[in-house]
Amino acid sequence: MSRVQTKYKVCRRLGPGVYDKCQTEAFAVREQRRKPTRGRRSNSDYNTQLLEKQKVRFTYGMTERQFHNYVKESSKVSGMTPAERLYQMLESRLDNVVYRLGLAPTRAAARQMVSHGHVLVNDKRVKVPSHQVRIDETVSVRPGSSDKGMLVEFEERFQKLTVPAWLQFDVKKKAAKKTAQPDVAEAHGLYDFTGVIAFYSR
């Protein structure tokens, strides 16, 4: 089975939001033509929480071990719920910030962009996709990379994009400043981070 077929299989189980390849008209038409699966899946709390965990993990492109470490870290912070902290940490990853700004078409492409040294944090090259972008830090594209590769289609991509409120973006400079922490309310209706925490708390 090819990687694309594998991703389609995951999308059918967890929803089209986990991979950008599944957020296309072609995928939607293909799914409409599929015959309904016989039988019912279990709607137990465990199964529901498992699906939410898998949905979030695949969306942010992490291994089980990496994701579990984020969950454990989220429970150590006081002053907010573990669900709130987990969302903040995942959204504040450098690769996710690059993706949210539209500088890369997918999170996987954003990880590659960071790893190859095309992204700066406070004017210093950072090649670690998991780097936590802090408040008042600036994320920008390396000057020599601003008109290469996936950035060639940036302007077209940006027209369809809504940049999160916690990022102040200068489009011309391709530079953004983090001005606040991501709010888990942004994920309402898309992901259940409380369910994810509950899954690991069993």
State how far the alpha carbon of 78 is from the alpha carbons of 46, 75, 85, 190, in Å: 26, 8, 9, 25
39 or 140, which is more confident: 140
Chain mean pLDDT for the chain: 86
The span from the CA of 106 to the CA of 123, in Å, is: 23
How much is the pLDDT for 3?
54
How much is the pLDDT for 159?
87
Write down the pTM of the prediction. 0.81
Containing 167, the helix (H) or strand (E) segment is: strand 167-170
- DSSP assignment letter at 35: P
Phi and psi torsions of 152, nearest 5°: -60, -35
Confidence band of 155 (pLDDT split at 50, 70, 90): confident
The span from the CA of 182 to the CA of 197, in Å, is: 18
Given a cut of 60, whether residue 197 has pLDDT beyond it is yes
The span from the CA of 133 to the CA of 142, in Å, is: 17
How much is the pLDDT for 157?
87
The span from the CA of 90 to the CA of 92, in Å, is: 5
Confidence band of 17 (pLDDT split at 50, 70, 90): low
158 or 7, which is more confident: 158
How much is the pLDDT for 36?
55
Given a cut of 60, whether residue 77 has pLDDT beyond it is yes
Percent of the chain's residues with pLDDT above 90: 65
Number of Cα atoms under 13 Å in the Cβ half of residue 190: 11
Confidence band of 35 (pLDDT split at 50, 70, 90): low
Judged by phi (left if over 0) then psi (alpha if -120 to 50, else beta), residue 174 lies in: left
Q: Which of 26-30, 42-46, 141-145 has the lowest mean pLDDT?
A: 26-30
Strands 175-178 and 124-125: unpaired
